Amino acid sequence: MAKDDQLLITEIFYSLQGESSTVGIPTIFIRLTGCPLRCQYCDTEYAFTGGEWTSFSDIIAQLKKYDSRYITVTGGEPLAQKNCIDFLQQLCDLDYNVSLETSGAIDISQVDARVMKVMDIKTPASQEADKNRFDNLRYLDGKDQIKLVICDRDDYDWAKRCIDEHSLTDICEVLVSPSHEQVDATELADWVLQDHLHVRMQLQLHKILWGGQPGT
């Protein structure tokens, strides 16, 4: 049983941010173990199980090894661990620039307002679109980001409708990403331009540089 000041950690590492508005910035990544979703394109299945229970103080001590004020808490699904909420607040109190990568399938209402939330909306081809919690949108603001991973043309058309129906670009910046090796990036770029979508298209920098996870 976890204590109130512990998290189950898969890994902590230092690399360039591969996605979002801070892409390219040297960042400390804290990858939490466990996820209730099983997206068909998931590239972090190794984080579903295992990990090591680590106290907040021990995690923070590890952060001091790296000369960066940028931290990304990721997973898995970080919010699947209830202690993540308090940990995010502690990081903010220490004046770190904190981002949270979340699937959008778990309530984000208690996440510290100082955290930049990068929240997925799952498309049909992810095979987990039924897990989307659209009520989470009310807890996003202009510093946050919404991400849609596109697997095929049907996904893209669904994403366009979702952006329109929920006025996503009025909430925060919307990111669209091609699912790795499932949709051609240039083709997705052409679709975005043809439709004049007000989104940011992004590629995963870490996969361009290292072919896998950041730093690998």
- Residue pair 87/57 in contact (Cβ under 8 Å)? The answer is no
- Residue pair 7/81 in contact (Cβ under 8 Å)? The answer is yes
Asked whether residue 46 carries a pLDDT value surpassing 80, the answer given is: yes
The CA distance from 195 to 193, in Å, is: 5
109 confidence band (pLDDT: 50, 70, 90): very high
Closest-CA residue to 139 (of 94, 164, 172) = 172
**Residue 215 resides in a domain:** no
**Residue 216 resides in a domain:** no
Asked whether residue 211 carries a pLDDT value surpassing 80, the answer given is: no
| DSSP-assigned beta bridge partners for residue 147 | 120, 175
Span between the terminal Cα atoms of the chain, in Å: 32
Asked whether residue 32 carries a pLDDT value surpassing 90, the answer given is: yes
Q: At 53, which helix (H) or strand (E)?
A: strand 52-55
**Residue 206 resides in a domain:** yes
Residue 157 sits in which domain range?
A: 6-210
**Number of structural domains, the chain?**
1
**Residue 34 resides in a domain:** yes
**Residue 1 resides in a domain:** no
The CA distance from 216 to 98, in Å, is: 22
The CA distance from 117 to 45, in Å, is: 22
Q: What is the mean pLDDT of the chain?
A: 94
Task: Specify the CATH number for the domain of residue 105.
Answer: 3.20.20.70
pLDDT given for residue 212 in this prediction: 63
**Residue 174 resides in a domain:** yes
155-207 residue pLDDT tens: 999 999 999 999 999 999 999 999 988 999 999 999 999 999 999 999 988 78
**Residue 143 resides in a domain:** yes
